[in-house]
Amino acid sequence: MVSRKKQLRKKQWEEIDLTNFKLLPSAKPPFFHGSTVRKATQYLWNKKLRPTVLEQQENKCCICNWIPKNASELRRLHLHEIEIYDFENKVCHLIEIKLICRECHSFQHIGRTQSVLNKKQWEDLMQHFIKVNNCSPDVDFDLVLAKSLQSEGYFEAQRKLTSGMTIEERMKLAKEPVRFTINPGIPLAEELRMHLMKRKLLYDGSYQ
């Protein structure tokens, strides 16, 4: 028999409507941690791509609409990489770059965020989450997080990785560098591709 507590949890899960949230927590699969186009093309990214994206997206967070008041605050706007992951070939497909503020960006890497913030910092960040989403202060963040990751296919992708490969295959793949593809619609896409190609990090296939 299902316990009353489990029944309540299930009801709460079913009642969460992610479409009501402008800001949702996300997470990068551990298999791809530390591997980004930004790190692989850092000089080009910082000197040319960032100014281009700032101008195109009008120096405004695409989630909460925050706009910096001065040049110093401009550093609080980050370029966030929207990626799709190919576990079988260990490829990260960069499909879009969005301009978001530091606080909203914290929720896009929620695993790291939760591990480095102290209690006060976390409480302040949760106030940002509540304000942006105009939701109740009593929102069950753990349920929102779990449902958001499920909707992204995060758990399913991890399951496929562990069930579809032998230990030997996973160990062999783990030693290989992450490779990338670049959506042609991204600013400076061809220059990014050339930098990746020189470093032998450009995948010669495409996302299907």
Q: Give yes or no for a contact between 22 and 132, defined as CB atoms under 8 angstroms apart.
A: yes
Average of per-residue pLDDT across 149-157: 81
Q: What is the per-residue pLDDT for 161?
A: 66
Examine the pLDDT at 205 and tell me if it is beyond 80: no
Mean of per-residue pLDDT scores for the chain = 90
User: pLDDT tens, 111-149?
Assistant: 999 999 999 999 999 999 999 999 999 999 999 999 999
Examine the pLDDT at 15 and tell me if it is beyond 90: no
Phi, psi for 68 (deg, rounded to 5): -65, 145
pTM over 0.85: yes
Alpha-carbon distance values, 204 to 91, 151, 182, 187, 198 (Å) = 10, 29, 11, 20, 13
Q: What is the per-residue pLDDT for 96?
A: 97
80 versus 171: the higher-pLDDT residue is: 80
Q: For residue 42, what pLDDT band results from cuts at 50, 70 and 90? A: very high
